[in-house]
């Protein structure tokens, strides 16, 4: 992998149209029409409970794709299958050119996949900068001896990783917090730090399990802006679970709706909003409420 990072060029005030990539980052895949992720007829059972029932999903490179559905619909199970935590009972997962019956968790970083979890999981004793650099551990190739001795290769690598962390901190506007203990920051900022840590290895596929859970409306708006900025700056493909329909409709390029483990709808947010099955099954609301 060969990323070029120019943190001084990371400027969030610039707007990058879909299909372009921020000059501070060079992602591995930037082609938009190629499906980066394909979930093919995946089923997953827990005893007698079907969590995923022959679910298909296809996400093009550079898209923001939302997975929605009522409680117990299978959303987390789907993310856990894509990130290799669960082995599906049948079906396959394709990431880029590679197809798996079970995604190998140990190869996730090399496959260019990173994820966040529903619950915050930050080390309380680490600063924001240190937390972000923990996302880069898999990127260290110099041996321990070379690091201890400060050999040129190790020094060069350390500098590149530091620059990587700096670029992410700049992109997510975390500069003012960089030396603060991550666990002491307001909840919304901690979630941003978590996003920064996941982004640090420059994944081509970023899986976000309820990144806005428990947030106020203002924090959600901020997180939406951040997620969009990440996609626009890095070209990463983003799959996220979110309950707030308003957020999903304004943030996503495409949406999958699950109910009782089945995919009941897939399409652009506007189509989803008007889909009677979605309104009935997931939202339990009127079309007007969905559109609100
Ligand atoms: N580890 C597990 N063991 C047993 N059953 C499970 C497990 N994980 C999920 N399930 C079951 O699988 C189904 C799908 O659960 P999942 O957590 O994927 O749904 P979800 O859409 O993410 O729900 P929520 O919005 O409440 O987080 C549910 O019936 C759930 O009870």
To which H or E segment does residue 199 belong?
Answer: helix 187-199
* 2 CB near ligand 1 (under 6 Å): no
Instruction: Give the DSSP letter of residue 105.
Output: G
* 73 CB near ligand 1 (under 6 Å): yes
> Phi/psi at 225 (nearest 5 deg)?
-60, -40
* 77 CB near ligand 1 (under 6 Å): yes
Mean pLDDT to the nearest integer, 39-44 = 98
Q: Domains along the chain? A: 34-111+211-216+237-292 (3.40.50.300), 113-202 (3.40.50.300)
Kindly list the distances between the CA atom of residue 276 and the CA atoms of 46, 54, 154, 242, 287, in Å, as whole numbers in the listed order. 29, 22, 58, 20, 8
Q: Which residue's CA lies nearest to atom 24 of ligand 1?
A: 71
* C-alpha span between 263 and 251 (Å, rounded): 20
Write the pLDDT tens digit of every residue in 2-36: 333 333 334 444 333 334 444 455 554 445 567 89
- 261 CA closest ligand 1 atom index: 14
Q: How many whole angstroms from 75 Cα to the centroid of ligand 1?
A: 8
Number of Cβ within 10 Å of residue 106's Cβ equals: 8
Write the pLDDT tens digit of every residue in 65-89: 999 998 899 999 999 999 999 999 9
H helix intervals, 30-174: 75-82, 108-111, 128-134, 144-149, 152-171
Residue 241 · residue 149 · CB < 8 Å: no
Mean pLDDT to the nearest integer, 194-215 = 94
* C-alpha span between 244 and 253 (Å, rounded): 15
Write the pLDDT tens digit of every residue in 126-140: 999 999 988 776 655
Which residues touch 146 (CB under 8 Å, ≥6 apart)? 153, 154
Q: How many whole angstroms from 201 Cα to the centroid of ligand 1?
A: 29
List 141's β-bridge partners, or say none. none
Q: How many whole angstroms from 261 Cα to the centroid of ligand 1?
A: 9
Residue-level pLDDT at 91: 98
pLDDT category, 206, cuts 50, 70, 90? very high
pLDDT at 246 over 90: no
Residue 18 · residue 233 · CB < 8 Å: no
Q: How many whole angstroms from 215 Cα to the centroid of ligand 1?
A: 22
pLDDT at 154 over 50: yes
Q: Using only C-alpha atoms, what is the Rg of the chain?
A: 19
Kindly list the distances between the CA atom of residue 226 and the CA atoms of 62, 150, 223, 273, in Å, as whole numbers in the listed order. 15, 36, 5, 24
Q: Which residue's CA lies nearest to atom 8 of ligand 1?
A: 77
ipTM score assigned to the predicted complex: 0.97
Q: How many whole angstroms from 73 Cα to the centroid of ligand 1?
A: 7
Q: Which two tokens stand for residue 23?
A: 């000059």
pLDDT category, 146, cuts 50, 70, 90? low
Which of 178, 192, 187, 177 has the alpha carbon at shortest distance from 223?
Answer: 192
* C-alpha span between 241 and 255 (Å, rounded): 10
* C-alpha span between 158 and 267 (Å, rounded): 43
- DSSP string of 210-235, one letter each residue: STTTT--HHHHHHHHHHHHHHHHHH-
Residue-level pLDDT at 261: 96
- 74 CA closest ligand 1 atom index: 18
Write the pLDDT tens digit of every residue in 88-122: 999 999 999 999 999 999 899 889 999 998 877 77
* C-alpha span between 278 and 283 (Å, rounded): 7
Q: What percent of the chain has a predicted confidence (pLDDT) above 90? A: 61
Burial grade of 269 (CB within 10 A; 0-12, 13-18, 19 or more): middle
* 71 CB near ligand 1 (under 6 Å): yes
Mean pLDDT to the nearest integer, 243-254 = 91
Q: Which residue's CA lies nearest to atom 23 of ligand 1?
A: 72
- 76 CA closest ligand 1 atom index: 22
Q: How many whole angstroms from 70 Cα to the centroid of ligand 1?
A: 11
Q: How many whole angstroms from 189 Cα to the centroid of ligand 1?
A: 28
Kindly list the distances between the CA atom of residue 14 and the CA atoms of 8, 21, 23, 162, 203, in Å, as whole numbers in the listed order. 13, 11, 11, 24, 22
Burial grade of 278 (CB within 10 A; 0-12, 13-18, 19 or more): buried
């Amino acid at each position: 992998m060969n990323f070029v990072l120019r943190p001084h060029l990371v400027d969030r005030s610039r707007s990058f149209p879909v299909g372009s990539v921020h000059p501070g980052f060079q992602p591995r895949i930037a082609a938009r029409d190629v499906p980066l992720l394909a979930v093919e007829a995946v089923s997953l059972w827990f005893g007698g409970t079907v969590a995923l029932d022959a679910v298909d999903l296809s996400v093009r490179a550079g898209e923001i794709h939302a997975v929605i559905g009522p409680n117990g619909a299978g959303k987390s199970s789907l993310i856990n299958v894509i990130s290799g935590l669960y082995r599906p009972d049948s079906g396959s997962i394709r990431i880029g050119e590679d197809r798996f019956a079970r995604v190998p968790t140990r190869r996730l970083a090399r496959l260019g996949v990173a994820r966040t979890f529903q619950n915050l999981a930050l080390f309380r004793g680490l600063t924001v900068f240190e937390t972000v650099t923990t996302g880069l551990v898999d990127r260290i190739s110099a041996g321990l001896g070379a690091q201890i001795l400060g050999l040129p290769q190790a020094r060069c690598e350390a500098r590149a990783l530091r620059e990587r962390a700096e670029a992410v901190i700049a992109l997510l506007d975390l500069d003012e917090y960089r030396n603060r203990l991550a666990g002491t920051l307001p909840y919304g900022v901690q979630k941003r730090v978590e996003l920064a840590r996941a982004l640090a290895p420059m994944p081509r596929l970023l899986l976000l399990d309820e990144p806005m859970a428990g947030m106020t409306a203002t924090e959600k708006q901020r997180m939406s802006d951040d997620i969009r900025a990440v996609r626009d700056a890095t070209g990463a493909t983003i799959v996220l679970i979110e309950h707030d329909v308003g957020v999903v409709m304004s943030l996503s390029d495409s949406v999958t709706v699950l109910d009782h483990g089945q995919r009941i709808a897939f399409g652009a947010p506007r189509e989803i909003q008007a889909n009677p099955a979605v309104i009935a099954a997931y939202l339990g609301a009127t079309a007007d409420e969905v559109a609100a």
